[in-house]
Structure 1
Amino acid sequence: MDYKTILVALDDDPARAARLEAALALCRHFGAGLVGLTATGTRLEPFRGAGEEAGKYAARAAADLQRTIDENLATLQAAVASPDATLACRHVVVEAETGWALATEGRFADLILPPPLQAGDNAPALMAEEAEYALLNAGRPVLLVPAGAKLAPQAHVLVGWDGSQPAARAVSDALPLLAKASAVTVVVVAGDSGEDEQQAGGERLLQWLAAHGVTAWLRVQRGGQPGEVLLRLTQELNAGLLVAGGYGRSRLRERMLGGTTRTLVRQAGVPLLLSH
């Protein structure tokens, strides 16, 4: 199965250009259609007793909103104008917050590209709220593209494998990219106990991938925090894409104690595909 519909958030953040470029690369590579999303946010009615000022406020808010919609549409059109004249593309406007809009529209897409956590953001959330909400509620994988990063569909892909349900879902969701990759490395970070079982699980994953025409290599790392190990190996192996399960344990536990998802989302310098 290939990706046939790519949903990309058009929010004006520092990573928008990289996100759009990645979405276009996927569309070209898989012959997919592109859907650009503008989420208007929740519009509040002005206080009816405010008189003339209420009308002025409503008019200004409507004008600002229309400018945002027009600017997003122009950005989308400019991105696909050349050399992608034949690229199927449409712009959807949803009167909702970005996270909710991505989750609901994303159910009719194959891959969602939300705004990533911005550098320097010290909020306690594991990732930008809209990306987190889309990951947990759309039932589709999300691809986080940091500002300045480039997605090459035929790059070396690093897969983090811990045998969990989210990890299994992520590998399945990433199959179209794994099939095109120049190399695939499955990384198992073995703990103090159960190392043989963890390695056996990695070997079984390689067999499953082989049945889908994907040749992969297994690398077992002993000790260390999984997130930090995956980030280090991504650099050492010059991988262009990192694939992992999102929230292998409860979100509250990761918020309080930290976790692999939190580390990857905040520090990955390459595109990161997550599934839950």
Structure 2
Amino acid sequence: METSVPFDTTAELLIYAFVSLAMLCIGMNASLRDFGVLLLDHGRTARTLVANIVIPPIVAFLLISLLPMNETSAAVLFLLAFAPGGINALQFSTKAPGQMALAGELLFLLSLLGLITAPVAAQVILASEARAGVPGGELMLRAIGLVAVPLAIGAAIRLRASNLAETLYKPAMLVSTLSFVAAVLLSLSVRQDALATIEPATLVAMTVFILALMAAGWVLGGPNPKQRQVLAAATNLRNVGLVYVLVDGCCEGGGHSVVVLAFIALMVPANLLFTAICAKLSRR
């Protein structure tokens, strides 16, 4: 298993650039005190955990029970339910004005939780012969390198040279955004091919799953509409890279990987539309 994302090397590098630079920008824009205040808000933390840890498995269980899905699709949907902390959430959660610190804190918290819950769930959900292929060490190294280290560097720049942080922020965020757009365009054909092979019941289940988690995040986001937007994006954008790593190369036939690709194909446009609607309502 050479990659943690289901695309070619160029798209993989662009995704890494997007995540690293976005975390760097969060570190340069939000102080450690901001993160501390957010983490100490026990009510917000509790609502975040309910939205991301409690509700998704319940929704997945209900969908699997009600819709005629095959075992492969059901297994992937359950794994997604136990995999919060999707890195793609940064591209959408950071679009809520003034909520950069919250977006970064949620990604960091949920990514750490996902590294625990998803591999544990995989040991139960995946077939016994596939469990040995779950690469726990690789997952931890990628999380540290792509999330924790850039965030710490950004915070250090802000602390030691605030003027430099202000100078670097906009160009770094621009490159991060362009990297994400380029990665989406390069991987478009791969995602469309996967989408065409999935049975209608699974497509319906994944669409309902995305919208249900988006609604859960919005409802539990608190009274501030911008904070609701952040939690709605962070909740429904599951950690597809993590799930792909869990199933790629350890499940025969590649069927699990195709279902993950199809989920990505539905997840991105749904959040583009959601973010556009929020931006329009905010301007009003």
Structure number with the higher strand fraction is 1
The higher radius of gyration belongs to: 1
Q: What band does the TM-score fall into relative to the shorter chain?
A: under 0.3
Q: Which protein, 1 or 2, shows the higher relative CO under an 8 Å CA cutoff with sep ≥ 6?
A: 2
